[in-house]
Structure 1
Amino acid sequence: MQLLNQAVVTEHLNMQAAIEAIESLLTQQAAHPNWVKAPERLVIETFSEDKNHSSGSHLSMPATIYDGDQEYTTVKLVTICPDNPSRNMPTTTAIVTVSNNDTGEILAIMDGIYITQVRTAALSGIATKYMAKSDCQSVAVVGCGGMAYEQLHAVMTVRPDIKKVYLWNRNNEGAEQFKTKFARDYAQWDVEIQVCKEIGEAIRDADIINVATRATEGLFGIEQIKSDAHINAVGAYQPSMKEISNDVVAGSNMVVVDDLAGSRHEAGDLIQAHDASDCAWTWDDLSGDLQALVTGELKEDTTKSKKGITLFKSVGAASFDAAVALYIAKQAVQKNIGSLVNW
């Protein structure tokens, strides 16, 4: 069994590999629906009954994947700790196990923080690849936490011609730190990064808008964004949360989710839009899911200069974690990556 800490996972997992692993999974799942199984994840709200603890959650996410030769099981255990930034710790902590179902042998245990960040970002990268204009020049990052960092990485991977990045965060210091870190880590992209004090300033001219927050109400209205903007919304992972306003949802020419079943239970933006009496959008207006985009069942012309607003809503699913974790586990076994432990 290989043990892989966060540094090892980060070293051996790149964004392009994650995007390809998930696209391969979606293509495989379309051709062989029974090869991938991912029951609805278990979410338990964590203790928040005194002033010293903010509301968080613990998630258990199992999945099995048959790759045409062998079947594997991955299990990701995640704890979301809203108070962690004040402790100089990541908001999301996670661990992933990968096992061979033929023998039950655990192939690898790995840190899941970077896997979670990269797989979430890879989903947005895939959505951007198929939904955003091909000539995008700018991207706005709304919310500059841990998830947002790799979101920008993914968008830049599929739209490398972007020249301008706008950052907005409730805490301006967080945006400044984001700017410094991204410019240092990804110097290969010649982009101008601007920290904005107001959210309207950040999104006004953006071709792509990445939103990753714990907001409970819409952060901007449709009149504040470009008429052909593409939005990647990866926060609001509970029904009580919301970061995309009803008018943006209803005014989008295309609304796509990563997971059809999960979104109906967890996509707070869409759940609240559907339930609102003054919002015209319902689940019947959903365009489809990421699998339909990748396989070509659902197509969007990204060359049109005026194509309307497109919205991608992600809540995550264990199968996506499984695809990325399985890629790393196979690499670890084949190349002896990490630390070998006799269990």
Structure 2
Amino acid sequence: MLLLNRDEIKWVFTMKDAIEADKLAYSIFSKRKSISPLRTNIESQNEQGNILFMPGYIDEIGVAGLKIVSVFPNNPQKGLPSTPGTVLLVDDKTGMVNCILDGTYVTELRTGAATGAAVSLLAKKGSKTGSLIGTGGQAESQFDAIIAGCETIKEIRVFSRNKEKRDAFVKKMTEKYSDKIKIISSFSSDEAIDDADIIVLATTSNTAVINGDKVKKGALISGIGSYMPNMHEIDEKTLLKSDKIFFDSKEAVLSEAGCIMTPLSKGIISEKNFTGDIGQVINGEIKGRESDDEIIVFKSVGISTQDIVTGKAIYEKALEKSVGFKW
């Protein structure tokens, strides 16, 4: 069995690698060549938090897996990550666990890569301005994914309600990317998304964090934060203005994401507004962007197929480069 920590994964696996892994995962999922049950969500009785179990199996690449990921907002006060996780890979020929990976980082990677895949497939060609709402545990990978998914990006504006965290995040990203793009700490969500080609939402907010009136024609909105029925980071105006709405998994989104479930239950939108899963675009079953004026929404809640494909790809890279601890 191979054990891989965050630093070892970083050494062998890039965001571009992760984007390609997510695209493969979406393709496999939409072809119904994976078993990806809806996650089991258990609410902690001792703390404000949720523990999620995400199993899956893909015979095409000979691996099963399980990700255990938790969302505990108060963890940072204890010096712990807010979304700790572990990924286990199981060889389908022996039933043996052959790799355990830092699931916190795998989650960051594959969730960032979800946006990266959407940007590379659905953003307007030549997009120059990006916007990131949210500076929590997923923010850096989302930032990385915008840049990896769109080589023409010149500016990214960042907003979160906590100015101290926002400024600290912008400083960190400026140090990381200062020679590549302009990075701005915005004073409001409206300022951040004004005239933005790519808008990424990475929050667990119970109320909308953007105003659809400010979303311009041709924009891509990637919503990756809200994963429970009470969370509503995408506003109804944006959904009504959009020309196409894509999901990672329609079934999963309609079971978990409040920002889609609530307006659907109210009759504000209907399933006629839904275009399909992003894997269907990859497989050529449905069209992606067809004009520079289309407003496109991509909503992701995450599927275990992403974790398994990404984990297997990391495992293979680690074996190739003799990285990790053999247990």
Which TM-score tier does this pair reach, normalised by the shorter chain? over 0.9
Matched, 1:213 2:211: no
Per the alignment, in what secondary structure is the counterpart of residue 86 of structure 2?
A: strand
Classify the secondary structure of the residue corresponding to 1:73.
strand
1:286 to 2:274 alignment: yes
1:47–1:170 CA distance, 2 compared to 1 (3 A): farther
What amino acid maps onto 2:123 in structure 1?
A: A
Q: CA 1:260/1:327 → structure 2, altered by over 3 Å: closer, same or farther?
A: same
For residues 71 and 132 of structure 1, the distance between their equivalents in structure 2, rounded to whole angstroms, comes to 33
TM-score in terms of structure 1 length: 0.91
Shift of 1:109: 0.8
Shift of 1:127: 1.1
| Equivalent residue in structure 1 for 2:37, among 39, 49, 60 | 39
Q: What is residue 175 of structure 1 aligned with on the other side?
A: 166
Match of 1:11 in 2: 11
Corresponding residue number in structure 1 for 2:136: 145
Is 1:273 the counterpart of 2:263? The answer is: yes
Asked if 1:317 is matched to 2:308, the reply is no
Q: Please list the CA deviations of residues 239-268 of structure 1 after superposition, one character each: whole Å capped at 9, or x if unmatched.
A: 111011111112111100101211110111
Distance 1:195 1:100 in 2: 46
Q: How far apart, in 1, do the equivalents of 2:29 and 2:70 lie?
A: 28
Decide which of 251, 254, 266 is 1:264's aligned counterpart: 254
Q: 1:201–1:89: structure 2 CA closer, same or farther, 3 Å change rule?
A: same
1:268-314 alpha-carbon deviations (Å, 9 max, x no partner): 1110110125x2x1123210001111112222336x44x23110000
Instruction: Report the Cα offset of residue 140 of structure 1.
Output: 0.7
- What residue is the counterpart of 1:64 in the other structure? 57
**1:228 equivalenced with 2:221 (yes/no):** no
Note if contact 2:194-2:215 (Cα within 8 Å) is conserved in structure 1. Answer: yes
CA distance, structure 2, for counterparts of residue 270 and residue 71 of structure 1: 34
Q: Does 1:338 align with 2:286?
A: no
CA displacement, residues 66-125 of structure 1 (integer Å, 9 cap, x when unaligned): 23xx62111111111101233343210001111111112221111111110110111111
Residue 56 of structure 1 aligns to which amino acid in structure 2?
Answer: G
SS at 1:58's partner residue? strand
Deviates more, 1:39-48 or 1:163-172: 39-48
Over 3 Å counting, the alpha-carbon distance change for 1:98 and 1:274 in structure 2 is same
Q: CA deviation at 1:186?
A: 3.7
Q: In 2, Cα distance between the equivalents of 1:132 and 1:290?
A: 13
Paired letter, 2:289:
D
The residue matched to 2:109 in structure 1 has which SS?
Answer: helix
Cα gap change, 1:197 to 1:47, in 2 (>3 Å): farther
1:64 offset after TM fit, Å?
0.9
CA RMSD of aligned residues (A): 1.7
The 1-side partners of 2:25 and 2:215 are apart by 33
**CA separation in 2, counterparts of 1:186 and 1:20?**
22
Q: 1:107, 1:333 within 8 Å by CA — same for their partners in 2?
A: no
Q: Distance between the aligned counterparts of 2:37 and 2:29, measured in 1?
A: 15
Matching residue of 1:26 = 26
TM-score (norm 2): 0.95
User: 2:295 is aligned with what amino acid?
Assistant: I
Give deviations 1:48-75, integer Å, cap 9, x for gaps: 6xxxx4x3210011111123xx621111
Would the alpha carbon gap of residues 105 and 336 (structure 1) be closer, same or farther in structure 2, given more than 3 Å must change?
Answer: farther
Match status 1:295 vs 2:295: no
- CA-CA distance at 1:227 after TM superposition: 2.3
Q: CA deviation at 1:30?
A: 4.7
Identity within the alignment, %? 29
**Whole-angstrom distance in 2 between the partners of 1:111 and 1:103:** 23
Q: Which amino acid aligns with 2:322?
A: N
Q: 1:191 to 1:334 in 2, by over 3 A?
A: closer
Q: Distance in 2 between matches of 1:220 and 1:203?
A: 8
C-alpha contact 1:237 1:267 (8 A) present in aligned 2: yes
Give the conservation status (yes or no) of the 8 Å contact 2:202–2:225: yes
Equivalences for 1:74-93 in 2 at 5 Å? 74-93=65-84
Please say if residues 53 and 66 of structure 2, whose CA atoms lie closer than 8 Å, have aligned partners that are also in contact: yes
Provide the secondary structure at the position in 2 that maps to 1:79: strand
- 1:328 corresponds to which of 297, 314, 321: 314
| Structure 2: tracts of 5 or more residues without a match | none
Contact 1:141–1:152 (Cα < 8 Å) also in 2? yes
